Amino acid sequence: MLKINLETYFWVLDRIKESDDTKNKVNTTTNLVTLSKPFIKKCENGFYVSKLLREMYSTYSNRTGKSFSLESSVTDISSEREPFNPLVWSNVFEALSHFGIKIEPSKQEILVKASNT
């Protein structure tokens, strides 16, 4: 099982406008959340990444008045999609660069490999 920090978990849920899934087990003693298999699948297939990027884009556009194109391969990911296509990752990395987020090539490689396991 995959565990993440409690604060990070609720931050992500807030940003992507999702409610807490009771299948994810919150442990307030350790401040960790054990993620359920369905939640992990939505992370791995890019569904939550897609929602987060759309929200980031909306906030960015509203605050700066600037816009740019987000690839539909990044923004139109369904929750039922099979594991994330590695070719889509290059579009994710490009989208992140519009927000000033640069991911080193070695880290990009790790993310692509992890999405295929």
Give the tens place of pLDDT for each residue, 36-83: 998 988 887 778 888 888 888 888 889 999 888 877 767 777 665 666
pLDDT given at position 91: 80
Hey, where are the domains in the chain? 1-44, 46-117
User: For residues 97 and 56, is the Cβ–Cβ distance under 8 A?
Assistant: no
The whole-angstrom separation of Cα 70 and Cα 59 is 14
Tens digit of each residue's pLDDT (9 = 90 or more) over 75-99: 777 665 666 666 677 788 888 888 8
> Whats the size of the chain, residue-wise?
117
In this predicted structure, which of 12-16, 83-87, 107-111 has the lowest mean pLDDT?
83-87
List CB contacts of 73: < 8 A, sequence separation 6 or more: 85, 87, 88, 91
Q: What is the CA radius of gyration of the chain?
A: 15
pLDDT given at position 44: 75
Does the structure show a pLDDT above 90 at 32?
Answer: yes
The DSSP-derived string for 66-102 is ---PPPHHHH---TT--SPPHHHHHHHHHHHHHTT--
pLDDT given at position 47: 82
Please tell me the pTM assigned to this model.
0.70
For residues 10 and 74, the model is more confident at 10
